[in-house]
Structure 1
Amino acid sequence: MYGLLNGVRVIEGASFIAAPFCALSLAQLGAEVIRFDTVGGGPDFHRWPRDPSGASFYWEGLNRSKKSIAINLADPRGRELAAALVTAPGEGGGIFVTNYPVTGFLSHDRLAARRADLITARIMGHADGGNAVDYTVNSAMGIPMMTGPADHPNIPVNHVLPAWDLLTGSTAATSVLAALISRRATGLGQEIRVPLSDVAAATLGTLGQVAEVLVTGRDRPKIGNDLFGAFGRDFVTGDGRRLMIVAITSRQWSGLVEALNIEAGVATLEAELGVSFAVDEGLRYEHRDRLGALVEHAVSTRSATHLATRLDEAGACWGPYRTLSEAVAIEKPFLPEGGLFTDVDHVSGHTYPTPGYAASFLGLQRHAPVRAPKLGEHTEEVLASVLAMPSHEIATLHDSGIVQSSGAHA
């Protein structure tokens, strides 16, 4: 965590990945993020992965460094309380991150009538309000039809990383900061709508893939583990380890050739084809099968340890294939000396390494992450500090079941 957004208060009414990830990013930069959760937890409160008792590691991860107030949103008095929190006064307040529908009691227009400079970041499936999640957006955009073995062209392959959720959350966080800067200059608030499908479409356009299909009239085929447009794929070492070897730049290519001592074979192939692989990564892709055979033979006759040394010395680009459990035990970002992960005692009862904000602000200390809250852990604190509610009114809300504190969920 960093203290760059100290004094900024964000109210989050959201579930699943994109919107909570947006608010998490702001919390890790120092904003006070207050979640209003439904009594008993929202639809992602027990989502996998979770421990044998049912505690969600997923929820713990996405909601660290936040505060929680538990509200009965089925009751009109609870919905009024949520709206009051979003529109509470204060220079750094009036920022709302949500994936609730455009219409309803949390519509921007209704809330802005109570606070004109309100900033709302609304995560959506589709721009027209249609329902979507990362997997359905990904399938509709054609990514699974480009992914997987070349000999199964009509079988889609999904991926396990919710890329559009994460990119949408990051886009929303950036947009909130831009809106905050604008509000400080103009005094005006605004609603920001960030649909998953728009983020996905814009990304494919930015990467040239939309132009590719429109100009050529052809979809990109499945190519297995090959890197599109340059040289790169997985190779098996002499002792049975698997490495991903990539050569996009000229320097990476020359380093690979040097490390594997395949200069003669590459020169012979270049002479035969009348090309230079050193100057055009596209040629390396076009002739990847023949180049791959040279690299495959060289890798298969050497141990992984020998190759690691040689590839590093030559400045080649490569990486080993590992399971996540293997990576957690050995990869630098996960280790204490990396400074990114810190052991944290979580509400699930487990202590495990937990990441702080991924970027490093040189000259500033990255503070250790704060665990996710218990459901309703900050109910009394938030009502008193944000809404200036006296203790007897808070007690009445408790007694009537409009709010709950963590004591009911501990």
Structure 2
Amino acid sequence: MGALSGITVLELSRVLAGPWCGMTLADLGADVIKLEAFEGDDTRGLGPPFLDGMSAYFACCNRNKRSLAINLREPAARPLLEALVRKADVLVENYRTGGAESLGVGYETMAAINPGLVYCSISGYGRDGPGAMRPGYDYVVQAEAGLMSITGPADGEASKVGVAVADLATGQNAATAILAALLQRQRDGRGQRIDVSLFDTQLSLLANVAGNALFTDVDAPRYGNAHPSIVPYQTFAASDQSFVLAVASEKLWVQLCRALGHPEWADDARWHDNAARVTHRDSLCQALSTLFAAEPAAHWLALLERAGIPAAPINSVRQALEHPVAHARGMRYDIEGIPMVGSPIHLSGSPARRELPPPRLGEHSDEVTRAMGFDPDGLRAAGAIR
């Protein structure tokens, strides 16, 4: 039994942030019913690649859910929708501001039907403030909320991160907020509205980089694969390929110096502590670069591993998926022939579900409709469901 068994979630969201939130809850045991328009979630068509008509994009964030294809603008669908809302614990939506209200599924309307409903709104810039009416896309928010300015080569063009981190982290924040609201409901019996945005999430993800700018009133420079506040903490080129080295404490620095056969470096006034190494990063990194260029990466990685120094090759996505840790931790599996990356949440008493493959559009329309006491054939004939 999952940790969230008995919790029913209505997911009125599409693309990534909302579905990622929904899948997180579904993996933890919630019954997530994905209410889709007749054309389906946008990501169903985002490809290639496709596998038996299903896009890899849709599959990555929609397992363990049931799909109900419903026309919310059709009056005949309203009794079914309200029955679902009365039964639900959580509703997740990511319409543009005002979109939910135009469909009759805004917070005030839904809360009147079910005062205990936890209603989570996901948007680009929040449901209030100057950006409330703007659409939100991960790429745009990465640019606007500062992430691109610190990503990419130090002397090159600003770059986006290779995966939609603002969307994904917003989905995780939404799931966390929902769990908190459910705990609050246990105390007072009341639901509430949650407002989570991509912009707020991305701004918070700037973390120490934002902190540096706030402390100094100086804008954050771009360091490429180096770190603004820790040295050495970056990529280095061996004789055959590059690797990553992360020396994030004074203990590790001393261990590195000894492992590389240069114990005197630990006592060098330029490099004796991290603040000095940050100030003199160019001289230190030049010394390390000269040393590392003399041997292949495998030599250095083996040496560093023996010394307990964090270092790693720069793996491709395929290499990461085939990594021994990925297999040992159960991060790779198939559900009915659909290959998946597993849940990163490991609970000893209520492990994550591996039950339902990403659903076909409307795959569970009849099942859900009958469970609510309605005739699917009649609703289908009225244009309410498919």
TM-score > 0.5, shorter chain as reference: yes
Query: Which residue of structure 1 aligns with residue 219 of structure 2?
Result: 219
Alignment pair present for 1:244 and 2:244: yes
Query: In structure 1, how many angstroms separate the alpha carbons of the residues matched to 2:6 and 2:35?
Result: 19
Query: In structure 2, how many angstroms separate the alpha carbons of the residues matched to 1:333 and 1:379?
Result: 39
- 1:279-298 matches, cutoff 5 A: 281-298=274-291
Query: Which residue of structure 2 aligns with residue 98 of structure 1?
Result: 93
Query: Which residue of structure 1 aligns with residue 357 of structure 2?
Result: 371
Query: Which residue of structure 2 aligns with residue 20 of structure 1?
Result: 19
Residue identity opposite 1:397 in structure 2: L
Alpha-carbon deviation of 1:112? 1.2
- Deviation readout 1:10-46 (Å, 9 max, x if unpaired): 0101001111111111101100000011113132221
Query: Which residue of structure 2 aligns with residue 5 of structure 1?
Result: 4
Query: In structure 1, how many angstroms separate the alpha carbons of the residues matched to 2:141 and 2:79?
Result: 33
Query: Which residue of structure 2 aligns with residue 407 of structure 1?
Result: none
Residue identity opposite 1:88 in structure 2: R
- 1:336-351 matches, cutoff 5 A: 337-346=328-337, 351=338
Query: In structure 2, how many angstroms separate the alpha carbons of the residues matched to 1:73 and 1:297?
Result: 65
Of 304, 309, 312, 1:311 maps to 304
Query: In structure 2, how many angstroms separate the alpha carbons of the residues matched to 1:202 and 1:166?
Result: 13
Query: In structure 1, how many angstroms separate the alpha carbons of the residues matched to 2:325 and 2:76?
Result: 46
Q: Secondary structure at the match of 2:343?
A: coil
Query: In structure 1, how many angstroms separate the alpha carbons of the residues matched to 2:42 and 2:60?
Result: 16
Residue identity opposite 1:117 in structure 2: G
Residue identity opposite 1:226 in structure 2: A
Query: Which residue of structure 1 aligns with residue 65 of structure 2?
Result: 66
- Deviation readout 1:216-247 (Å, 9 max, x if unpaired): 23211122211221121211222x12101111
76 and 294 in structure 1: CA distance in 2 versus 1, 3 angstrom threshold: same
Query: In structure 2, how many angstroms separate the alpha carbons of the residues matched to 1:84 and 1:125?
Result: 30
Query: Which residue of structure 2 aligns with residue 259 of structure 1?
Result: 259
Alignment pair present for 1:398 and 2:384: no
Alpha-carbon deviation of 1:328? 2.1
Alpha-carbon deviation of 1:52? 7.5
- Deviation readout 1:55-85 (Å, 9 max, x if unpaired): 3111111110000111123423335533442
Query: In structure 2, how many angstroms separate the alpha carbons of the residues matched to 1:282 and 1:370?
Result: 51
Query: In structure 1, how many angstroms separate the alpha carbons of the residues matched to 2:241 and 2:307?
Result: 20
Query: Which residue of structure 2 aligns with residue 138 of structure 1?
Result: 142
Q: Alignment identity in percent?
A: 29
Residue identity opposite 2:244 in structure 1: M
Query: Which residue of structure 2 aligns with residue 276 of structure 1?
Result: 272
Q: Which runs of 5+ in 2 are unaligned?
A: none
Calculate the aligned-residue CA RMSD, in Å: 2.2
Alignment pair present for 1:47 and 2:49: no
Q: Secondary structure at the match of 2:255?
A: helix
Contact 1:66 1:372 in 2 (8 A): yes
Q: Which runs of 5+ in 1 are unaligned?
A: 405-410
Contact 1:22 1:173 in 2 (8 A): yes
Query: In structure 2, how many angstroms separate the alpha carbons of the residues matched to 1:285 and 1:325?
Result: 34
Alpha-carbon deviation of 1:156? 2.3
Query: Which residue of structure 2 aligns with residue 382 of structure 1?
Result: 368
Query: Normalization by structure 2: what TM-score?
Result: 0.90
Of 346, 350, 357, 1:360 maps to 346
Query: In structure 2, how many angstroms separate the alpha carbons of the residues matched to 1:147 and 1:260?
Result: 30
Contact 2:147 2:202 in 1 (8 A): no
365 and 194 in structure 1: CA distance in 2 versus 1, 3 angstrom threshold: closer
248 and 235 in structure 1: CA distance in 2 versus 1, 3 angstrom threshold: same
52 and 67 in structure 1: CA distance in 2 versus 1, 3 angstrom threshold: closer
Alpha-carbon deviation of 1:212? 2.8
Alpha-carbon deviation of 1:340? 2.5
Contact 1:255 1:311 in 2 (8 A): no
Query: In structure 2, how many angstroms separate the alpha carbons of the residues matched to 1:106 and 1:295?
Result: 60
Query: In structure 1, how many angstroms separate the alpha carbons of the residues matched to 2:298 and 2:214?
Result: 45
Contact 2:253 2:266 in 1 (8 A): no
Alpha-carbon deviation of 1:53? 6.8
Alpha-carbon deviation of 1:49? 5.1
Number of residues of Structure 1 aligned to a counterpart in Structure 2: 376
Contact 2:21 2:175 in 1 (8 A): yes
Query: In structure 2, how many angstroms separate the alpha carbons of the residues matched to 1:8 and 1:365?
Result: 16
- Deviation readout 1:360-390 (Å, 9 max, x if unpaired): 12355455353111111111111122x222x
Query: In structure 1, how many angstroms separate the alpha carbons of the residues matched to 2:179 and 2:292?
Result: 48
Alignment pair present for 1:150 and 2:135: no
Query: Which residue of structure 2 aligns with residue 408 of structure 1?
Result: none
Query: In structure 2, how many angstroms separate the alpha carbons of the residues matched to 1:373 and 1:333?
Result: 29
Query: Which residue of structure 1 aligns with residue 107 of structure 2?
Result: 108
Query: In structure 2, how many angstroms separate the alpha carbons of the residues matched to 1:202 and 1:225?
Result: 21
Query: Which residue of structure 2 aligns with residue 160 of structure 1?
Result: 162
Query: Which residue of structure 2 aligns with residue 201 of structure 1?
Result: 203
- Deviation readout 1:297-347 (Å, 9 max, x if unpaired): 221122222222211111101110121122223x12432x3323222234x
Between 24-33 and 166-175, the greater mean CA deviation after superposition:
166-175
